[in-house]
Amino acid sequence: MIAPKPFQEAAVNAALTAFADPTGRRRFLVADEVGLGKTVVAKELARRLSEDGRQPLVIYYIANGHAVSHQNKGRVVGFLGDSQRKAATATPDRLSLIAIAKRPKNPVLIYALTPATSFPGARARLTGGRKEERAFLKVLLEQTYPAFARDLDPDILRLSARGSWDWAVKDAEIKFAASPSHLRQRFREALAAEFGESVRAMLDLAVHGDADRKIKPLKPTTFVGRLRRALALATLRHQPPDLVVLDEFQRYRQILDEKDADPLLKALLEPEGSVVPPAILLLSATPYRVLSTRWEEARGALAHAELLELIEFLAGPDVRERAKTLFSDFGDKLRDIAAHADASHPELGVEVAEAARLRDELRGLLTPVMSRTERDSVASADPLAATQFLDADPSPEDFRVYRHLVESFAEQMRYEALPYWSSVPLPAQSLGPRYAAWKRAKIKAAPKLTRMTRERRNKLNVPTAWPDAKLGSE
């Protein structure tokens, strides 16, 4: 196993210090620039935490997509031997399935989860999930509310499963017999959190509605989705993780905003009655939006608020308020410094010294809960990590491509054009609807711009110069 680089080791040590206090918030952000090995930091943290003698170390690795989460979960436990790594990663990919699966005997277990399937918010569109989940829910309901389960239309839980349903139910009965002893009670509590008290009456209301009160019954998939969410909550409360890794969390940062209103997210991030809350590691090169165009000026207050909310999540409200004051004072001091036309003015040195003091206080306030490494800062020790600059003068078509992209985006999304344009050649053609800015975009015809066609690709007839802010004539 390749040893972490010194700056990665420093981030690991800082995170371990943040996690060491069992009564503290136990949260840390690694905001290293893209490509500097945030996953390496997560792996080393997992290795060090797994050595404390408690087994198994349970890790929830959460990323915004199954492909990413499954790809990276093996890397996070890459310090294990082949057989142990295979056992560590042979785990369910949905929170509601963890209670169903037999728990392997292994020093480390990692579950690769996504927000959409394991932590759907209150406003998310719920689905029926897999037949294995629904079969287990059938058995659980029979054990917790037998009269309700007996009267429930069997098609509601069966949904589209047909010939394999009976087999799935028998398998669920076997798995329930081997499930944790308190899962039944946890499920009752979770149903109360999801549907309200009294549970039996609220379940009947969800399935049948109430004509007198003009309450419509839930659609079968919605009802099953809420049962799945309750099962996920029961699992989380009964088998909480030791370490939660939120990778590229800015893509789903709504889970931080909704944690107080969603019992499932609260159980993940701020469990009640837990002797030791889970360690939470946030990974993101861009944990909050940095303004870069005039279209983003209106978002300045929002970006500032996002940063302060993140600081509060990591370190608490007192640190947030102190950081807010320091950022304000530091900004005022920088403006005072910039206002001096005479560099030899005697007050300038005093103001520079005060700005440095404010900067250092901000560093001291925030470095216990976050770290940031950029390429240029490690270039002397690791030349391969340094930024490689290319000679690429922009051409007039570069800016025509940019203007075309801006004019194709909806007004409220135009601030997104600059990062796409500066990162991807021909972004209007290369990217597409899986990116948020494209969902309301109307990509306009532009016959005078370079086009990447299938015919040109197949013939490898590439232009001598690609219109792109970074590539230029390269």
pLDDT classification of 460: cutoffs 50, 70, 90 = low
pLDDT of residue 293: 46
Q: What is the 3-state secondary structure (H, E, C) of the chain?
A: CCCCCHHHHHHHHHHHHHHHCCCCCCEEEECCCCCCCHHHHHHHHHHHHHHHCCCCEEEEEECCCHHHHHHHHHHHCCCCCHHHHHHHHCCCCCHHHHCCCCCCCCCEEEEEECHHHHCCCCCCCCCCCCHHHHHHHHHHHHHHCHHHHHHCCHHHHHCCCCCCHHHHHHHHHHHHHCCCCCHHHHHHHHHHHHHCCCHHHHHHHHHHCECCCCECCCCHHHHHHHHHHHHHHHHHHHCCCCEEEEECHHHHCHHHHCCCCCHHHHHHHCCCCCCCCCEEEEECCCCCCCCCCHHHHHHHHHHHHHHHHHHHHHHCHHHHHHHHHHHHHHHHHHHHHHCCCCCCCHHHHHHHHHHHHHHHHHHHHHCCCEECCCHHHHCCCCHHHCCCCCCCCCCHHHHHHHHHHHHHCCHHHHHHHHHHHHHCCCHHHHCCCCCHHHCCCCCCCCCCCCCCCHHHHHHCCCCCCCCCCCCCCC
Mean pLDDT over 229-255 rounds to: 88
Which tens digits make up the pLDDT trace of 35-74?
Answer: 788 989 999 999 999 987 677 899 999 988 777 788 888 8
pLDDT of residue 382: 62
Which tens digits make up the pLDDT trace of 354-396?
Answer: 999 999 999 999 999 999 887 666 556 566 655 566 666 777 8
pLDDT classification of 251: cutoffs 50, 70, 90 = confident
Higher pLDDT among residues 274 and 323, named by residue: 323
Higher pLDDT among residues 435 and 18, named by residue: 18
Mean pLDDT, the chain, integer: 83
pLDDT of residue 110: 93
Mean pLDDT over 28-36 rounds to: 85
pLDDT of residue 22: 84
Percent of the chain with pLDDT over 70: 87
Residue 285 pLDDT > 50: yes
Mean pLDDT over 320-328 rounds to: 93
Residue 302 pLDDT > 60: no
pLDDT of residue 259: 80
| pTM score over 0.85 | no
Mean pLDDT over 12-40 rounds to: 89
Enumerate the domain spans of the chain. Answer: 131-225, 294-385, 396-459
Mean pLDDT over 133-138 rounds to: 92
Residue 273 pLDDT > 80: no
Mean pLDDT over 125-144 rounds to: 90
pLDDT of residue 343: 73
Which tens digits make up the pLDDT trace of 410-431?
Answer: 887 887 788 788 777 788 887 8
pLDDT of residue 392: 65
Residue 400 pLDDT > 50: yes
